[in-house]
Amino acid sequence: MEKRNFETDAIRAQSERTPNREHSVPLYLTSSFVFEDAEQARALFADEIPGNIYTRFSNPNNTEFIEKMCLLEGTEDGIATASGMAAMYISMASLLKAGDHVLASRSVFGSTHQILNVIFPRFNISYSYADIADPNSWESKIQPNTKMIFVETPSNPALDIIDLEWLGKLAAKHKLILNVDNCFATPYLQNPAKWGAHLVTHSATKFIDGQGRVIGGAVLGKKELIKEVRFFARHTGPSMAPFNAWVLSKSLETLAVRMERHCQNALELANYLQTHSEILKVKYPFLPSHPQHELAKKQMKLGGGVVTFEINGGIERGRKFLNSLKMLSHSANLGDTRSIATHPASTTHSKLSEAERVAVGITSGLVRISVGLEKYADIQADVAQAIEASKA
C-alpha cells in the first residue's frame, strides 16, 4: 500500500473492492474458501500462490487489519491473533526452543510474567529480568543461549520507559531478536521498528479497538520472523475471528483522533493529581517529574492515555477511593472511550509476589486510571469527589 500520512492511511487503506462496489469492506463470515480447480488447491497448500484456504490460516478481514497495522507501524509483515496474550505468547514461543534464554524488562504485564515464570520453564526455556532504571546491567545479563529481548514501553502499569534506540543497538550487537510490546503507546504515538525492533506486539483489545467491544492481538515485524510466527499460529490455532478483525480495522480509522483526546485528558489529570495534597506520587510519561521524561519525549509523540498514582493511606484508602467513584468504571480493562480505574496489586498483577510487585513499582496503594474521552471536567470532578469521600 502507498505510504501517506498516518491519519489518511488509517482511514483509506483497505481491501480491494468486490464487484458489488461497496464503500465499507464487507464481513467475510466464512470458515473456508472454495477452489477453482484441483491445481489451484494444490498450489495454495504448497504456498506457491497467495490466497485463502481456511479462516484459521487467513481471511480477507484479518488480512486487511494486519496490512493496515503493518503500514502504521512500519513493519514488513504481521499476523492477527485471538487476543493480546496470544500475540505475546506466539511472538516468543514460535521463535524459541528448549535451552534458549529470554532477557526481559522486569516490568511486564502479569500474564506475560506467568509465561516467562511458569509456562516456559516447562519447556526448558529460561529467562532473566533486567531493570529499566539500570540500563548498564543489561549487557551483563545476556547469556550464550540468549535468543530474544522482550520489553514493554511504556510498561503496564508502572509506565516505565525504555530507550528503544539503545536497546535496538544492543540487540543488533549480540544478534538477538528485539520484541517490543507497544500496546500502551499504539502505532500513533510510537514505532519501535524505527528504533530497531524486529517484532512489535499488540493487545488490540485496548486502544486499537478503543471502545471495549472485542478481543484481539497482533504480531508485526520482519518478514522472515513472521513466517515462523505464522507457521506456529497456523498449526496451533490462535486465530482472530473475522468479525473482530473487521471491527478493529474500522477502529483504526479513528485511532489518531482518539489518542489525541486520551493524551490531552491524561496529561490534564496528571497535572491535577500532582498538586493534590492527598496524592503522594503521580507517574505519567509527559510529566517533567517522570524519571524518563526526556526519553519519552524523544520516542513518543504524546504521553499516552494511562496515569498511575499513589493515594495517601495505602491499600485501604485505595479501595475506598475506587468504591467512591461514581462515573469512572471499575474494571481491569484499559484503552476504552470510558475512563477506567484499576487496582493492579489485587487484579492484573495479583499473581506476582509482593516483592515482585514492589520491584516494578506496583505498591499496594497504586491506582491506575485509563483516561477516557469524556469531557475532562467531568473526569476530574469524579476523581476529586472520590478522593474526598475516601478520607472518611
Instruction: Give tens-digit pLDDT for 275-295.
Output: 999 999 999 999 999 999 999
- Contact assessment for residue 203 and residue 179, using Cβ atoms and an 8 Å cutoff: no
Q: What is the CATH number of the domain that holds 324?
A: 3.90.1150.10
Give exposure, 51-86, as e/b (b: 16+ Cβ within 10 Å).
Answer: ebeebebbbbbbbbbbbbbbbbbebebbbbbbbbbb
Report if residue 160 sits inside a domain: yes
Q: Are residues 245 and 362 in the same domain?
A: no
Residue with cell 493487545: 203
Range of the domain at 328: 256-389
Could you report the per-residue pLDDT of 199-248, keeping only the tens digit for each? 999 999 999 999 999 999 999 999 999 999 999 999 999 999 999 999 99
Q: Are residues 236 and 262 in the same domain?
A: no
Which residues, 6+ apart, have CB-to-CB distance to 157 below 8 Å?
306, 308, 342, 344, 348, 349, 362, 366, 368
Q: Are residues 215 and 249 in the same domain?
A: yes
Q: Are residues 248 and 262 in the same domain?
A: no
Q: Are residues 82 and 189 in the same domain?
A: yes
Report if residue 1 sits inside a domain: no
| Full DSSP string of 86-119 | HHHHHHHHTT--TT-EEEEES---HHHHHIIIII
Report if residue 67 sits inside a domain: yes
pLDDT at residue 126 in the model: 98
**From residue 119, how far is each of 72, 80, 234, 318 by CA, in Å?**
32, 22, 21, 32
Looking at 201, 231, 254, which one is the last position of a domain?
254
Written as one letter, the residue type at 363 is T
Could you report the per-residue pLDDT of 37-96, keeping only the tens digit for each? 999 999 999 999 999 999 999 999 999 999 999 999 999 999 999 999 999 999 999 999
- State the Cα–Cα distance between residues 186 and 179, nearest whole angstrom: 15
Looking at 220, 236, 254, which one is the last position of a domain?
254
Residue 348 has pLDDT above 90, yes or no: no
Give exposure, 104-140, as e/b (b: 16+ Cβ within 10 Å).
Answer: bbbbbbbbbbebbeeebeeeebebbbbbbeeeeebee
pLDDT at residue 359 in the model: 66
Q: Are residues 275 and 296 in the same domain?
A: yes
Q: Are residues 218 and 278 in the same domain?
A: no
Give me the chain's average pLDDT, please: 94
pLDDT at residue 347 in the model: 66
Looking at 231, 254, 277, which one is the last position of a domain?
254
Domain total of the chain: 2
Read off the pLDDT band of 360 (50, 70, 90).
low
Q: Are residues 37 and 167 in the same domain?
A: yes
Q: Are residues 192 and 262 in the same domain?
A: no
Q: Are residues 88 and 21 in the same domain?
A: yes
16 grid coordinates: 480491494
Q: What is the CATH number of the domain that holds 70?
A: 3.40.640.10
pLDDT at residue 186 in the model: 98
Q: Are residues 121 and 266 in the same domain?
A: no
